[in-house]
Amino acid sequence: MNVLGIESSCDETGVAVYDTGAGGLRAHAVYSQIALHAEYGGVVPELASRDHVRKLLPLIRQTLAEAGLSTADIDGVAYTAGPGLVGALLVGAGVARSLAWALDVPAIGVHHMEGHLLAPLIEEDAPQPPFVALLVSGGHTQLVAVEAIGSYRLLGETLDDAAGEAFDKTAKMMGLPYPGGPQLAKLAEQGVPGKFRFSRPMTDRPGLDFSFSGLKTQVLLAWRDSDQSEQTRADIARGFEDAVVDTLAIKCGRALDAAGTDTLIVAGGVGANRRLRAKLVEMCEKRGGRACFPRPALCTDNGAMIAFAGALRLAAGQHDDAAIRAVPRWDMATLAAV
> What binding mask, one character per residue, do residues 118-137 give for Fe ion by CB under 5 A, x or -?
-------------------x
CA–CA separation, 169 vs 275, rounded Å? 19
Is 51 marked as a binding-site residue? no
CB 116 within 8 A of CB 144: no
The reply on whether position 142 binds Fe ion by CB under 5 A is no
The reply on whether position 11 binds Mg ion by CB under 5 A is yes
Supply the minimum distance, in Å, between the C-beta of residue 72 and ligand ATP. 32
The reply on whether position 7 binds Mg ion by CB under 5 A is no
For ligand ATP, the binding residue among 161, 168, 235, 242 (CB under 6 A) is 168
Dump the DSSP string for 285-315.
Answer: HHTT-EEE---GGGTSS-SHHHHHHHHHHHH
CB 237 within 8 A of CB 187: yes
- Give the pairing of strands 12-19 and 2-7: antiparallel
CA–CA separation, 120 vs 298, rounded Å? 8
The tally of CA atoms less than 13 A away on the side-chain side of residue 36 is: 19
What are 32's strand-pairing partners? Answer: 12
Site for Mg ion in 298-337 (CB under 5 A): 301
Burial status of residue 314 (CB atoms within 10 A of its CB: 0-12, 13-18, 19 or more): buried
Residue type, 5: G
Is 138 marked as a binding-site residue? yes
Residue type, 338: V
Is 112 marked as a binding-site residue? yes
What are 156's strand-pairing partners? Answer: 143
For ligand ATP, the binding residue among 139, 150, 201, 239 (CB under 6 A) is 139
Supply the minimum distance, in Å, between the C-beta of residue 8 and Fe ion. 11
Number of residues that bind ligand ATP (CB under 6 A): 22
Number of residues that bind Mg ion (CB under 5 A): 4
Is 104 marked as a binding-site residue? no
Q: Which is nearer to Fe ion, 33 or 137 (CB)?
A: 137
Residue ranges that bind ligand ATP, judged by CB under 6 A? 10, 112, 116, 137-140, 164-165, 167-168, 179, 181-182, 185, 268-270, 272-273, 300-301
Residue ranges that bind Fe ion, judged by CB under 5 A? 137, 301
Residue ranges that bind Mg ion, judged by CB under 5 A? 10-12, 301
